[in-house]
């Protein structure tokens, strides 16, 4: 079983406006317009009370997508969705339930939804070995084309390489 987990964002989905153009948001880009279409058996869309309306809009848009997994909205109670500790303490019981409910499942998280702090937590949880999931990152089509990167790609933090590059006098790779 393959399960996707993502956060809602505030007024950024299901579509975004970039350079005057209406583009699919991250959820539609991943679940409708990429090689991941039809690849998930379930989708848990995490929200806070302030983004419940946004979650409902995402669910509505995904309901019209052939091959989209059933999406269940889970509201996590927190006062400040920008506080790393509060996010972690709200997220931990959900992840514990998820492991119990879906033992043996393959987990995927969508990196670039929710607050920047929520995004950071996914990277930390993965890097520290606290949550075994593949991290998927999306980029709006024009930005991906301009940078030469795929619109949807797996992101694997390479802490050993990052640590090496932080040493003085290390030649850093050139960024395209």
CATH code, 55: 3.40.50.10770
Is 81 inside any structural domain? yes
Q: Is residue 5 scored above 70 in pLDDT?
A: yes
User: pLDDT over 90 for what percent of the chain?
Assistant: 70
Is 41 inside any structural domain? yes
**pLDDT at residue number 57:** 94
**pLDDT at residue number 137:** 94
Backbone dihedral region for residue 114 (phi beyond 0: left; psi -120 to 50: alpha; all else: beta): left
Q: Is residue 171 scored above 70 in pLDDT?
A: no
Is 171 inside any structural domain? no
Beta bridge partners of 109: 5, 135
**Structural contact between residues 119 and 112, judged by C-beta atoms closer than 8 angstroms:** yes
Q: Is residue 64 scored above 90 in pLDDT?
A: yes
Residue 80's contacts (CB-CB under 8 Å, 6 or more residues apart) are 86
Is 174 inside any structural domain? no
Q: Two tokens at 174?
A: 């050139």
Q: How many domains does the chain have?
A: 1
Question: Domain range holding 64?
Answer: 2-165
């Amino acid at each position: 079983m393959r399960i996707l987990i993502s956060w809602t964002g505030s007024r950024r989905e299901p579509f975004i406006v970039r350079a005057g153009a209406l583009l699919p948001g991250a959820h539609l880009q991943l679940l409708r317009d990429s090689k991941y279409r039809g690849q998930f058996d379930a989708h848990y869309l995490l929200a806070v009370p302030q983004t419940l309306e946004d979650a409902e809009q995402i669910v509505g848009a995904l309901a019209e997508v052939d091959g989209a997994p059933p999406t269940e909205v889970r509201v996590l109670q927190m006062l400040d969705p920008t506080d790393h500790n509060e996010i972690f303490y709200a997220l931990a019981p959900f992840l514990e339930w998820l492991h119990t409910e879906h033992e043996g499942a393959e987990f995927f998280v969508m990196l670039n939804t929710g607050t920047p702090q929520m995004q950071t937590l996914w990277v930390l949880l993965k890097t520290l070995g606290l949550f075994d999931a593949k991290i998927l990152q999306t980029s709006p089509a024009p930005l991906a084309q301009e940078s030469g990167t795929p619109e949807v790609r797996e992101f694997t933090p390479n802490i050993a390489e990052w640590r090496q590059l932080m040493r003085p006098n290390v030649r850093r790779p050139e960024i395209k």
